[in-house]
């Protein structure tokens, strides 16, 4: 039944959110922050997982969740102390619940007795309680009763409730007024209004002094026909109470209107204010217009003056905005496909807009200034639209970071090492598609750190380190990129071993000398693995090269830096969004190519560039005292060019690890934004090309893979040497 499948899909979606929440809450609880809010949230999460699971008959899941829930209930009620072992048990239980959920989702049955150890521990912890009774499925013997609830109910006579007033009480803050205070009878005279005084401001001032209750006296308001524009018909009785309320304070407020109003001030008890009654003629006044209640509702946020029932004005009105927001819906769920369609269309819009802008040559600009202005606005709006759409797709990296604590726990158990995971910047947002692609690389990197980086506890103690190794996972935004780093305080990369393996496998020539940084980067070489013994964890036939290729696929780069004996840091640099890239458009052998702007350091004409020829035949460029490898893209792509050398251009780029490379192109057309399109969707990956894009004229331009060209050129060099 498809309805059921829909419900299940909703349920599993919800489960992943709840599991995520559990992970977060327990991270805080583990750190010592076990407020009752957290415990309640944890309880609710398990409760919801259990509840939905019951509806679908996932009995293994429900059985485990129920036992766990009982423990959480006891913890919540303080019947079981939240000691370290209990927290550890809970964290383990969360993992098990995740397993049960996954099994239910995949339709597989977990081994008999899965989680029974933990369940037994729950039972021991909660054993003091007797068996709970089971209730009938439904039970209607409750009698609806009216309950008076503490301070939230007002002691006023129920007959004074109007529907609006009653409803309003729901979001009125609990009131603790003393019954004694000051009663202010305030009757403005026409002169008060004539001098532009506003009773509302005075009443607000009173509100700042203390709690205020107001009755508007509108008995004198005449029928509309007798209404005089400049007359004053309304008066107010105001009851003010609070510590700061004194006669002097109240008189000070009315000092400015002295002589412009009748003011009667006396100490009184609240009930002297009397109940609110709407005078019958009020309805007649506005016979054909909006009802008084409507008006009152309309002016309610600012003016507690007319027709309002007991309206206590709490001194600082902060927090009100939050309450207001609660009334509206502040999020909706949208199918990702729909958003993607919008993203694609916005992408095309960006292209069209940049095409239009390109078409504007100088003479057109001079001739059609309005058009130019319109295009500028269009460009701005398009950019704004694009940012907004992209922000819809953005998600905090938390969704993937939160999977890592479990991984680290498992790694710690399997390696016998003590490892603590620290996460920083989980709320950094990044495109959803990129997030989805992050899980595998991060898993690999963390495995690598746990496996090869962090030392065993004895060794660490021997080295004067703490026996617990730290893996730090962090995310931050830096310009148009997100930087995600995995750092550990382990032994660093064993460069001798890396070089030895690389030489054995022919990745590095026997006589080739590498800098330390270059050696470190070798761990990303295809098929490279240094673990002396293949470990159960990292050695699964895939090495760190998978990380590199995954990250490159989403337009990112990877860099590693290592400090012997101190640790390793691997850094992922990722684009904020997959969809749009700022590029420089160039031509090579008559075809358009684009080079990501983020990689470009500078451009120069070849005739001004300082080339030198290497003994091997390769060219280098001397720029600012540095020798940079030169790659002629026409040659590199084996596409003959007819452009003579002097009028060609050098695009100086920076590849990963700050290594520079000078690309020679035939011409530079300009900068623009492009939408990245996959070559692999209908074709395959091409070495030296990172993808394609569609230009304003409808033609395809290829995106130059600067890093790929740098790497392969380095290899070509080596084989030539």
Q: How many whole angstroms separate alpha carbon 516 and alpha carbon 649? A: 33
Told to check if 433 binds other proteins by CB under 8 A, we report no
Q: Mark the segment that binds other proteins (CB under 8 A) among 262-270, 419-427, 553-561, 682-690.
A: 682-690
Told to check if 10 binds other proteins by CB under 8 A, we report yes
Told to check if 651 binds other proteins by CB under 8 A, we report no
Which residues, 6+ apart, have CB-to-CB distance to 668 below 8 Å? 584, 585, 586, 603, 649, 651
Q: Mark the segment that binds other proteins (CB under 8 A) among 28-36, 153-161, 394-402, 569-577.
A: 153-161
Q: Give the nearer residue to other proteins in terms of CB position, either 63 or 539.
A: 63
Cβ atoms of residues 417 and 456 within 8 Å: yes
- The 190-229 site mask, x for binding other proteins (CB under 8 A), equals ----------------------------------------
Told to check if 358 binds other proteins by CB under 8 A, we report no
Name the nearest CA neighbour of 457 among 494, 416, 421: 416
Binds other proteins (CB under 8 A): choice among 336, 639, 716, 720: 639
Q: Give the nearer residue to other proteins in terms of CB position, either 222 or 301.
A: 301
Least distance to other proteins, CB of residue 174, Å: 12
Told to check if 28 binds other proteins by CB under 8 A, we report no
Binds other proteins (CB under 8 A): choice among 16, 30, 34, 44: 44
Strand partners, 188: 261
Binds other proteins (CB under 8 A): choice among 161, 193, 528, 611: 161
Told to check if 517 binds other proteins by CB under 8 A, we report no
Told to check if 406 binds other proteins by CB under 8 A, we report no
Strand partners, 618: none
Which runs of consecutive H residues, i.e. helices, occur in 169-212?
190-194, 199-209
Told to check if 145 binds other proteins by CB under 8 A, we report yes
Q: How many whole angstroms separate alpha carbon 390 and alpha carbon 386? A: 6
Told to check if 64 binds other proteins by CB under 8 A, we report no
Told to check if 326 binds other proteins by CB under 8 A, we report yes
Binds other proteins (CB under 8 A): choice among 701, 706, 707, 711: 701
Told to check if 243 binds other proteins by CB under 8 A, we report no
Which residues, 6+ apart, have CB-to-CB distance to 653 below 8 Å? 595, 599, 600, 601, 660, 661, 662, 663, 706
Q: How many whole angstroms separate alpha carbon 19 and alpha carbon 707? A: 39
Which residues, 6+ apart, have CB-to-CB distance to 615 below 8 Å? none
Told to check if 160 binds other proteins by CB under 8 A, we report no
What does 397-445 look like in DSSP terms, one character per residue? Answer: THHHHTTHHHHHHHHHHHHT-EEEEEEE-TT-EEEHHHHHHHHHHHHHH
Which residues, 6+ apart, have CB-to-CB distance to 327 below 8 Å? none
Q: Mark the segment that binds other proteins (CB under 8 A) among 3-11, 244-252, 519-527, 615-623.
A: 3-11
Binds other proteins (CB under 8 A): choice among 42, 50, 202, 558: 50
Which residues, 6+ apart, have CB-to-CB distance to 628 below 8 Å? 620, 621, 622, 652, 660, 661, 662
Told to check if 439 binds other proteins by CB under 8 A, we report no
- The 76-115 site mask, x for binding other proteins (CB under 8 A), equals ----------------------------------------
Which residues within the stretch 270-309 sit at the binding site for other proteins (CB under 8 A)?
A: none
- The 338-357 site mask, x for binding other proteins (CB under 8 A), equals ------x---x---------
Least distance to other proteins, CB of residue 688, Å: 6
Name the nearest CA neighbour of 235 among 258, 197, 262: 262
Q: How many whole angstroms separate alpha carbon 193 and alpha carbon 332? A: 47
Told to check if 139 binds other proteins by CB under 8 A, we report yes
Q: How far apart are the first and last CA of the chain?
A: 67
Three-class secondary structure of residue 198 per DSSP: coil
Told to check if 133 binds other proteins by CB under 8 A, we report yes
What does 647-687 look like in DSSP terms, one character per residue? Answer: G-EEEEEE-GGG-EEEEEESEEEEEEEEEEE-STTTS---T
Q: Give the nearer residue to other proteins in terms of CB position, either 62 or 419.
A: 62
Told to check if 146 binds other proteins by CB under 8 A, we report yes
Site size toward other proteins (CB under 8 A) is 75
Which residues within the stretch 521-580 sit at the binding site for other proteins (CB under 8 A)?
A: none
Q: How many whole angstroms separate alpha carbon 186 and alpha carbon 273? A: 13
Name the nearest CA neighbour of 632 among 564, 704, 569: 704
Told to check if 700 binds other proteins by CB under 8 A, we report yes
Binds other proteins (CB under 8 A): choice among 5, 84, 112, 137: 137
Three-class secondary structure of residue 305 per DSSP: coil
| Cα 281–Cα 283–Cα 289 angle in degrees, nearest 5 | 135
């Amino acid at each position: 039944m498809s309805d059921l499948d829909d419900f299940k899909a909703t349920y599993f979606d919800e489960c992943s959110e709840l599991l995520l929440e559990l992970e977060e809450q327990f991270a805080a609880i583990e750190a010592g922050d076990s407020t009752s809010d957290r415990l309640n949230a944890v309880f609710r999460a398990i409760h919801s997982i259990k509840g939905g699971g019951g509806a679908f008959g996932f009995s293994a899941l429900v059985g485990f969740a129920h036992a766990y829930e009982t423990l959480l209930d006891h913890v919540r009620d303080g019947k079981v102390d939240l000691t370290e072992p209990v927290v550890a048990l809970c964290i383990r239980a969360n993992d098990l619940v995740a397993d049960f959920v996954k099994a239910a989702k995949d339709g597989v049955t977990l081994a008999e007795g899965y989680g029974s150890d933990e369940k037994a521990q729950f039972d021991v912890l909660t054993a003091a309680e007797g068996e709970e009774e089971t209730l009938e499925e439904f039970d209607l013997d409750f009698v609806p009763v009216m309950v008076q609830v503490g301070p939230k109910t007002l002691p006023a006579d129920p007959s004074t409730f109007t529907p609006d007033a009653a409803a309003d009480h729901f979001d009125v803050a609990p009131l603790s007024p003393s019954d004694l205070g000051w009663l202010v009878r305030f009757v403005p005279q026409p002169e008060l209004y004539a001098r532009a005084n506003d009773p509302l401001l005075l009443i607000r001032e009173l509100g700042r002094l203390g709690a205020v209750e107001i009755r508007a006296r509108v008995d004198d308001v005449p029928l509309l026909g007798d209404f005089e524009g400049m007359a004053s018909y309304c008066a107010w009785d105001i009851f003010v109470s609070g510590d700061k309320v004194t006669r002097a304070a109240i008189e000070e407020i009315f000092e400015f209107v002295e002589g412009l109003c009748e003011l009667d001030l006396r100490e009184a008890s609240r009930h002297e204010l009397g109940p609110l009654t709407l005078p019958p003629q009020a309805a007649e006044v506005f016979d054909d217009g909006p009802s008084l209640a409507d008006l009152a509702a309309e002016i309610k946020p600012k003016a507690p003056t007319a027709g309002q029932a007991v309206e206590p004005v709490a001194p600082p009105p902060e927090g009100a905005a939050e309450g207001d927001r609660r009334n509206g819906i502040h999020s909706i769920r949208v199918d990702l496909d729909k958003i993607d369609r919008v993203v694609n269309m916005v992408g095309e819009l960006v292209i069209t807009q940049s095409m239009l802008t390109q078409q504007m040559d100088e003479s057109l600009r001079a001739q059609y200034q309005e058009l130019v202005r319109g295009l500028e606005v269009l460009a701005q709006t398009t950019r704004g639209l694009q940012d907004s759409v992209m922000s819809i797709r953005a998600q905090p990296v938390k969704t993937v970071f939160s999977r890592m604590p479990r991984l680290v726990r498992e790694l710690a158990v399997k390696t016998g090492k003590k490892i603590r995971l620290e996460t920083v910047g989980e709320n950094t947002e990044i495109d959803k598609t990129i997030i989805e692609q992050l899980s595998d690389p991060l898993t690999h990197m963390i495995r690598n750190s746990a496996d090869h980086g962090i030392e065993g506890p004895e060794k660490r103690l021997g080295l004067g380190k703490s026996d617990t190794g730290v893996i730090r996972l962090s995310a931050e935004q830096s310009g148009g990129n997100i930087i995600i780093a995995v750092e550990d305080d382990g032994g660093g990369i064993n460069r001798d071993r890396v070089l030895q393996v690389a030489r054995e496998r022919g990745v590095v020539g026997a006589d080739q000398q590498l800098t330390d940084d270059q050696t470190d980067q070798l761990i990303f070489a295809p098929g490279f693995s240094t673990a002396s013994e293949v470990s159960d964890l990292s050695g699964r036939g895939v090495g760190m090269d998978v990380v590199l290729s995954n990250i490159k696929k989403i337009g990112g780069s990877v860099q590693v830096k290592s400090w012997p004996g101190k640790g390793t840091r691997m850094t992922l640099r990722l684009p904020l969004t997959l969809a749009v890239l700022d590029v420089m458009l160039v031509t090579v052998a008559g075809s358009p190519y684009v080079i990501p702007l983020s990689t470009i350091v500078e451009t120069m004409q070849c005739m001004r560039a300082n080339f030198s020829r290497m003994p091997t035949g390769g060219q280098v460029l001397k720029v600012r005292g540095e020798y940079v490898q030169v790659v002629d893209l026409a040659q590199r792509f084996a596409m003959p060019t007819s452009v003579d050398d002097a009028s060609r251009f050098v695009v100086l780029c920076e590849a990963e690890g700050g290594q520079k490379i000078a690309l020679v192109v035939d011409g530079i057309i300009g900068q623009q934004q492009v939408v990245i399109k996959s070559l692999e969707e209908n074709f395959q990956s091409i070495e030296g090309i990172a993808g394609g894009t569609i230009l304003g004229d409808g033609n395809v331009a290829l995106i130059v893979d600067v890093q790929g060209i740098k790497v392969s050129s380095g290899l070509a060099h080596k084989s030539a040497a």
